[in-house]
Chain A
């Protein structure tokens, strides 16, 4: 956090100065470790073992915040008798199909509701379309009424199921898997539990490298389970805090440019799941469940009205028929492989540099070299615009400029001070930026570029009667003559009452009958009272510590989600010290320092009538109002592809055989088994010793992602001038690496070179009785800019988390050798030699299900 989010880290230091204990768990000692009370080096890729150990500590010592757990989590709910755990099936949950590598999830359901479970086919579609992302704003479907045991003694209740699942994650196991000494680990458990409860709360903060794993979603789930057990969710000083890495990456998910989502986490229509408008709506709102998601039709119709205005009518299902349909995985990595295969003609890169910033840089560049045309919009010249001229494949002869057909347009882009608009920062807060100056030279904003591209295209198609053109021709697309008015677009996003022309103040005002519009329902209210709420700048020193009058946070300017949980079931603060939102019985309303995350006048004593659904079904003590059952989920009966409880799997590339289960790695991970995307062998496959070390990558304080905004700047380039690799003194001795000398790092995809930094910031760990060395690299370098160097992302292959299709790019195996790598054609031969030694023939298939496969094979089919 001190490295990549330094200004945010000031608040950790504030807390430390007031007595908070700071614990830092990381494979590498960083500036954060230097300021923490406790630093624990761990093996990259073993986080569920570590956190599962904490869950086990809490449950076996009954350290959970029992009143909170009983009232606000699903601990007491009974799980189906058909459910079988990984502890019974050697690392698989019940319902696994080795043909499709997905689960039939019926047996994961609550008792009596097995029919509600995802069938295998749905599960497969959900993986292909990364449907886990839809849950950013709401829980997955679940029926409201579930049998419970409030004594938590029934062996089938979630509490007991969870306890059995983690019983083997003992301090000894944590030491064996993670390399953390038991006494150090117990120190963390004691600190975390002692600092949680009525009087105290603990925050869990992660940076999003945590998501970049084949089990990334389950890492965060494990953290969430701990925070729920300890009563740290929805309370001040608690929570699970994601430190996202880009100015508006939260905004890019809320108002997505993602293949599977529409604004506000509505799903993009799928050809079979959402064939009709009604199927699409019902798939979002799940008619019988609790919560605000039941109003989905209002949100969806309002979006279609924002897109198609008067042309969206009840008769034409508000234009639903014009929407394109998904058939499977259309994600960025599938696209890159399709580019290599010649299936894609044109590609837009909008302030994005995948030649350096995405996994498997070589695949990225070869894909771009096989397009008809490419449009790159950026502030500076980046590697993704010059792959045909001076990329690594030009050096190896794989791309020859005279033979590369790709037509490239480079369009200079306007900077953040040359346009107005909102960024949504990592706490869901929108902040408006005023325009300071006109764009430089021919630079244009994306707003200008897409508005005018749309205008030209619509003019070309004017008068067309082809069905395919009607969505474009009927689109509302009038944002002025030259530069579109950013506030006009933000108002469209906020939405209008179409009968009065007034801006909406809340998404609760949205209607399902076409009388309201709104481009992103969770952002409704950003123009409350006709005022640009994102442009509020009342100084922090003149408000309470929640600072509700600086910018605007979705939903409804709430700064802490689910803050109903900061009060007890009767609506009273858990303690005076941790008071945040509470029920004011005299006034008959919820009140506090933040906007209450509950219906303002629904009393804590409210109980829903028999057969209620939707908002009416939310009980006065259901704090988790977007969940189908109103509860925080310790156990996830649906919504996850890879299982209802996080389970330790080894990374897709590991030199360690999974010590806990026959199943080596996530059995549902998304793989692309191709000759140009080979995976280093892991046990039980043979030859893992060819790539004997673990590597991880991350950012430097002085650089930003793929370097387009930092390697071009003189100050930052001077502060961190060169690509380097950090190794421990022990590894340096083992491989003959010299401090400040050169080394090269090799995987099945590439070999890259870097300057050597020998440092005790990296600690050799003892895992399963052997020494495991980890090395670390920054990933900012490429072939353009003031400072150049090899790209760490070239080392990484494409293996994805099944829930959201993010790549495993924070852990892999590699070799490291002293000296520079070979150049030209020799480099290709050098990497091929490693593949040969590792048994990776072009048709190699990495085994996915490894239960019962103790006899290693070559993986050849």
Chain B
């Protein structure tokens, strides 16, 4: 370690000779904090994304390291948001990484007092069973005048407005082919 390095390692020296006379910034930096690197620097990759809260559509950059999201920042390239995020958008890292997120399929049986775990493929088969049974039990071929109805009113759906266009497209397509008409969305509300 040379004399220069040694003496610059002394905060008071930096405070007296540098650009930070009040010792509130660079002069007060410790060795440890100097060596810290932002998560955005050490990320393996960045995905371009959009904030999932309101409809302004602020650009987000999703920083990924070891296949985990490590940081979400506003995208300065976006002509909509110019890199800014509001409190909710800024909290979206915890939205996607919180320990409170549900990771398992859960099942509450009729008259049950608590949740049980169920594996995904069993749940999918059970739901398909119920859809087909409800559809058959409530199927309407035609109205009293014989005009075609081709439908079921035994099934309802209410979708959030944070789903992708591609998802809404498949939802409407499948339900329409199934004859289920009671398909609604937050857009009504």
- Please tell me if B182 contacts chain A, counting CB pairs below 8 Å: yes
User: Would you list 16 pairs from A and B whose C-beta atoms are within 8 A, ordered by A residue?
Assistant: A7-B89, A8-B80, A243-B55, A247-B57, A252-B163, A324-B180, A344-B155, A344-B182, A350-B160, A352-B160, A373-B134, A406-B110, A407-B110, A409-B105, A409-B126, A468-B150
Is B185 a contact of A258 with CB atoms below 8 Å? yes
Closest residue of chain B to A338 (Cβ to Cβ) is B153
- Please tell me if A189 contacts chain B, counting CB pairs below 8 Å: no
The interface on chain B, measured as residues whose beta carbon lies within 8 A of the other chain's beta carbons, has a size of 117
User: How far is B151's CA from A271's CA once the two chains are assembled, in angstroms?
Assistant: 11
Is A702 a contact of B87 with CB atoms below 8 Å? yes
Contacts of A345 in B (CB 8 A): 130, 134, 137-138, 154-155
User: How far is B164's CA from A422's CA once the two chains are assembled, in angstroms?
Assistant: 5
Q: How far is the CB of A792 from chain B (nearest CB, A)?
A: 14
Is A401 a contact of B111 with CB atoms below 8 Å? yes
- Please tell me if A444 contacts chain B, counting CB pairs below 8 Å: yes
Which of the 9-residue segments B12-20, B22-30, B33-41, B46-54 touches chain A?
B46-54
Closest residue of chain B to A415 (Cβ to Cβ) is B96
Is B109 a contact of A407 with CB atoms below 8 Å? yes
Interface 0/1 of A428-454, CB less than 8 Å to B: 011111111110111111110011111
Q: Which of A244, A344, A446, A806 contacts B167 (CB 8 A)?
A: A446
Q: Knowing A335-B184, A447-B166, say if A307 contacts B87 (CB, 8 Å).
A: no
Is A259 a contact of B183 with CB atoms below 8 Å? yes
Q: How far is the CB of B122 from chain A (nearest CB, A)?
A: 10
- Please tell me if B42 contacts chain A, counting CB pairs below 8 Å: no
Contacts of B165 in A (CB 8 A): 248, 251, 254-255, 421-424, 430, 490, 493, 523
Interface 0/1 of A686-728, CB less than 8 Å to B: 0000000000000001111100011011111001000000000
Is B174 a contact of A450 with CB atoms below 8 Å? yes
- Chain B residues numbered 45-87 whose CB sits less than 8 Å from any CB in chain A: 47-59, 62, 64, 67-69, 72, 75-82, 84-87
- Please tell me if A354 contacts chain B, counting CB pairs below 8 Å: yes
User: How far is B112's CA from A254's CA once the two chains are assembled, in angstroms?
Assistant: 40
Q: Knowing A416-B49, A490-B166, say if A335 contacts B156 (CB, 8 Å).
A: yes
- Please tell me if B178 contacts chain A, counting CB pairs below 8 Å: yes
Contacts of B54 in A (CB 8 A): 4-5, 8, 243-247, 704
Contacts of B55 in A (CB 8 A): 5, 243-250, 425-426
Closest residue of chain A to B100 (Cβ to Cβ) is A712
Contacts of A486 in B (CB 8 A): 164, 166
Q: Which of A247, A332, A457, A535 contacts B128 (CB 8 A)?
A: A457
Q: Knowing A7-B89, A344-B155, say if A322 contacts B163 (CB, 8 Å).
A: no
- Please tell me if A606 contacts chain B, counting CB pairs below 8 Å: no
Q: Knowing A345-B138, A345-B154, A709-B95, say if A426 contacts B56 (CB, 8 Å).
A: yes
Interface 0/1 of A468-494, CB less than 8 Å to B: 100110010101000010100110110
Is A409 a contact of B123 with CB atoms below 8 Å? yes
Contacts of A771 in B (CB 8 A): none
Q: How far is the CB of B180 from chain A (nearest CB, A)?
A: 7
Which of the 9-residue segments A60-68, A539-547, A744-752 touches chain B?
A539-547
User: How far is B88's CA from A518's CA once the two chains are assembled, in angstroms?
Assistant: 36
Name the residue among B81, B90, B102, B132 with the largest chain A CB count within 10 angstroms. Answer: B102
Q: How far is the CB of A217 from chain B (nearest CB, A)?
A: 13
Contacts of B177 in A (CB 8 A): 307, 322, 471-472, 475
- Please tell me if A404 contacts chain B, counting CB pairs below 8 Å: yes
Contacts of B62 in A (CB 8 A): 417, 434, 436
Contacts of A540 in B (CB 8 A): 77-80, 82
Instruction: Taking A259-B183, A379-B101, A445-B164 as given, write out 14 further A-B residue pairs in contact, using a Cβ cutoff of 8 Å, ordered by the A residue number.
Output: A243-B55, A247-B53, A248-B165, A249-B161, A258-B187, A331-B188, A348-B156, A348-B159, A415-B95, A433-B50, A436-B49, A442-B103, A450-B171, A537-B77
- Please tell me if B149 contacts chain A, counting CB pairs below 8 Å: yes
User: How far is B15's CA from A33's CA once the two chains are assembled, in angstroms?
Assistant: 43
Is A351 a contact of B184 with CB atoms below 8 Å? no
Q: Which of A412, A419, A434, A804 contacts B102 (CB 8 A)?
A: A412
Contacts of A452 in B (CB 8 A): 124
Q: Knowing A4-B54, A447-B170, A713-B95, say if A256 contacts B47 (CB, 8 Å).
A: no
Contacts of A373 in B (CB 8 A): 127, 130, 134
Is A7 a contact of B47 with CB atoms below 8 Å? no
Q: How far is the CB of B37 from chain A (nearest CB, A)?
A: 20
Contacts of B50 in A (CB 8 A): 247, 416, 423, 425, 431, 433
Q: How far is the CB of B145 from chain A (nearest CB, A)?
A: 9
- Chain A residues numbered 214-262 whose CB sits less than 8 Å from any CB in chain B: 243-259, 262
Is B95 a contact of A444 with CB atoms below 8 Å? no
Contacts of A484 in B (CB 8 A): 166, 170
Contacts of A409 in B (CB 8 A): 105-107, 118, 123, 126-127
Is A323 a contact of B158 with CB atoms below 8 Å? no
- Please tell me if A770 contacts chain B, counting CB pairs below 8 Å: no
Closest residue of chain B to A349 (Cβ to Cβ) is B158
Contacts of B124 in A (CB 8 A): 452-453, 456
Q: How far is the CB of B153 from chain A (nearest CB, A)?
A: 7
User: How far is B179's CA from A259's CA once the two chains are assembled, in angstroms?
Assistant: 11
Is B109 a contact of A453 with CB atoms below 8 Å? no
Q: Knowing A435-B47, A441-B103, say if A457 contacts B132 (CB, 8 Å).
A: yes
Q: Which of B64, B151, B170, B178 contacts A489 (CB 8 A)?
A: B170
- Please tell me if A380 contacts chain B, counting CB pairs below 8 Å: yes
User: How far is B154's CA from A409's CA once the two chains are assembled, in angstroms?
Assistant: 17
Q: Knowing A347-B157, A454-B174, say if A715 contacts B168 (CB, 8 Å).
A: no
- Please tell me if A321 contacts chain B, counting CB pairs below 8 Å: yes
- Please tell me if A520 contacts chain B, counting CB pairs below 8 Å: yes
Is A456 a contact of B128 with CB atoms below 8 Å? yes
Q: Which of B49, B96, B113, B169 contacts A433 (CB 8 A)?
A: B49
User: How far is B167's CA from A245's CA once the two chains are assembled, in angstroms?
Assistant: 19
Q: Knowing A346-B131, A452-B124, A489-B170, say if A252 contacts B178 (CB, 8 Å).
A: no
Contacts of A335 in B (CB 8 A): 156, 158, 182, 184
Contacts of A321 in B (CB 8 A): 148, 150
Is A436 a contact of B173 with CB atoms below 8 Å? no
User: How far is B95's CA from A322's CA once the two chains are assembled, in angstroms?
Assistant: 41
Closest residue of chain B to A488 (Cβ to Cβ) is B166
Is B184 a contact of A322 with CB atoms below 8 Å? no
- Please tell me if B147 contacts chain A, counting CB pairs below 8 Å: yes
